[in-house]
């Protein structure tokens, strides 16, 4: 985008500051955007919230100006987590959004329960409501808010965590006290988890990874992978759950670590929105070029012929995105949480978020070369990744002092 385009984009926009506040004063009631705004919205399940089809994933952003511009151009739902940027993400977002009336935006944050096993997702003795509530209180303080609209349980991997009663009871008490409005779960490409969410009946919103690579997932052995996810999302929507899609660009803006093969972001997001059971998306936004693309999608979600070709081309590349299918885990003789290493690799080379990659590698505590004793890798990857090469590469972060990362 040229400098002229950016100036015009920021100056005129779809809504402008006054228009944004004019619409969003009715968010609580779930009313539609005024027709003349031409912004495409969908209802977030039984929450009744009318949300634009593109929301803002704030994880990698540290720009107050970008958040203001997003809100002023019709993006009203902002997604963060208590762990993003070690809490600084919530602080930045809170400082900006407190400049606006509280009923002019929606905020979603996430808390990951302590003690959940990285391999199985099972809760442990350390998984307590007290710890969960303490972390959420910290989030409210950083956000400078009395409540959030959606609180997600972060990174849920097992049906047992979906139905973990201490956390559910704690969240319902938060709702009764007016500290949260809706209960949500965040998960990664797990149809069985989405099915569990539906069966439990305690949840309002599901945040799940969903992108053009879902056609290659191999999880539900009895049926084609994309069918498994599509059926799960349809069940969720039919049950009244709000469905929010993340990882919509499949690992960042590029297909390679050298950043020579860009992903057509518009095509990727439109592909996700071609599924009517996805109510909104939260692509990560770190600059005004990305915001410009996302704002244009708010007006038109139809894939054109070139975008369809770009999707097919992107699918033909190995890329950097790990689908978290977990097919690699049984074959790893070291019992490593391979998907977590792949996620750290994606953070570093796909998102250019070295701090997030460093935090994850440090948390894994697997050393600086956990594959050193293996002559070859016995784990198989549905994406044809060279797992040993990637793990050896990204695990080097374990030897880097934190002062060099922050």
Task: State the helix-helix crossing angle for 64-72 and 88-97, rounded to 10 degrees.
Answer: 50
User: Which pLDDT value is given to residue 220?
Assistant: 37
Facing residues of 141 across strands?
Answer: none
User: Which pLDDT value is given to residue 230?
Assistant: 87
Going residue by residue through the chain, which has 406 residues, state the pLDDT in tens, using 9 for 90 and above: 444 355 555 554 444 333 333 333 333 433 333 344 589 999 999 999 999 999 999 999 999 999 999 999 999 999 999 999 999 999 999 999 999 999 999 999 999 999 999 888 999 999 999 999 999 999 999 999 999 999 999 999 999 999 999 999 999 999 999 999 999 999 986 788 999 999 999 999 999 999 998 754 433 333 344 467 888 999 999 999 999 999 999 988 899 999 999 999 999 999 999 999 999 999 999 999 999 999 999 999 999 999 999 999 998 998 999 888 888 989 999 999 999 999 999 999 998 889 989 999 999 998 888 999 998 899 999 889 999 999 999 999 999 988 888 6
Neighbours of 327 (CB within 10 A): 18
List, in order of start, the domains of the chain with CATH numbers: 3-315 (3.20.20.100), 329-404 (no CATH)
Tokens representing 271 are 């592909």
Could you tell me where the DSSP H helices lie in 285-347?
288-297, 305-315, 338-345
The Cα–Cα gap between 169 and 176 comes to: 10
Contact 193, 164 (CB under 8 A): no
User: Which pLDDT value is given to residue 228?
Assistant: 77
What distance separates the 2 farthest-apart alpha carbons in the chain? 63
- Residue 285's closest CA among 297, 277, 275? 297
Which SS3 state, helix, strand or coil, does residue 139 take?
A: helix
Tokens representing 222 are 């009895």
User: Which pLDDT value is given to residue 16?
Assistant: 37
Cα 82 to the center of its chain, rounded Å? 13
Q: Which residue has the tokens 């959606």?
A: 150
Facing residues of 254 across strands?
Answer: 262
R_g of the chain computed on alpha carbons: 20
The Cα–Cα gap between 83 and 231 comes to: 31
The Cα–Cα gap between 107 and 97 comes to: 9
């Amino acid at each position: 985008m040229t400098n002229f385009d950016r100036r015009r984009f920021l100056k005129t926009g779809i809504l402008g500051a006054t228009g944004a506040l004019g619409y969003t004063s009715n968010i609580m009631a779930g009313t539609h955007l005024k027709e003349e705004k031409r912004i495409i919205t969908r209802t977030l399940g039984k929450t009744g919230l009318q949300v634009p089809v593109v929301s803002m994933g704030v994880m990698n952003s540290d720009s107050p100006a970008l958040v203001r511009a997003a809100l002023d151009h019709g993006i009203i739902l902002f997604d963060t987590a208590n762990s993003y940027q070690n809490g600084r993400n919530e602080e930045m977002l809170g400082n900006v959004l407190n400049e606006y009336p509280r009923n002019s935006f929606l905020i979603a944050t996430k808390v990951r329960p302590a003690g959940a096993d990285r391999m199985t997702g099972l809760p442990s003795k350390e998984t307590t409501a007290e710890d969960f509530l303490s972390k959420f209180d910290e989030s409210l303080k950083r956000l400078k808010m009395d409540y959030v609209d959606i609180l997600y349980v972060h990174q849920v991997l097992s049906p047992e965590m979906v139905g973990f009663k201490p956390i559910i009871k704690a969240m319902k008490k938060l709702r009764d006290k007016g500290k949260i409005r809706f209960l949500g779960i965040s998960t990664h490409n797990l149809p069985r988890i989405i099915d569990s969410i539906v069966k439990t009946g305690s949840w309002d919103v599901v945040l799940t990874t969903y992108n053009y690579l879902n056609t290659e997932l191999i999880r539900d052995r009895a049926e084609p992978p994309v069918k498994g996810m599509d059926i799960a999302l349809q069940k969720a929507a039919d049950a009244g759950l709000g469905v929010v899609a993340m990882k919509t660009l499949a690992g960042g803006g590029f297909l390679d670590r050298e950043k020579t093969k860009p992903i057509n972001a518009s095509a990727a997001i439109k592909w996700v929105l071609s599924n009517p059971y996805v109510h909104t998306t939260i692509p990560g936004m770190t600059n005004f070029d990305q915001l410009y693309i996302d704002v244009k999608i708010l007006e038109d979600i139809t894939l054109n012929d070139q975008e369809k070709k770009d999707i097919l081309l992107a699918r033909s590349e190995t890329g950097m995105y790990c689908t978290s299918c977990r097919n690699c885990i049984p074959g790893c003789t070291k019992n490593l949480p391979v998907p977590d290493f792949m996620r750290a690799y994606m953070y570093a080379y796909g998102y250019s978020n070295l701090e997030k990659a460093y935090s994850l590698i440090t948390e894994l505590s697997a050393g600086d070369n956990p594959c050193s004793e293996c002559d070859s890798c016995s784990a198989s990857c549905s994406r044809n990744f060279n797992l040993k090469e990637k793990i050896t590469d990204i695990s080097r972060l374990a030897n880097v002092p934190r002062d060099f990362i922050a």
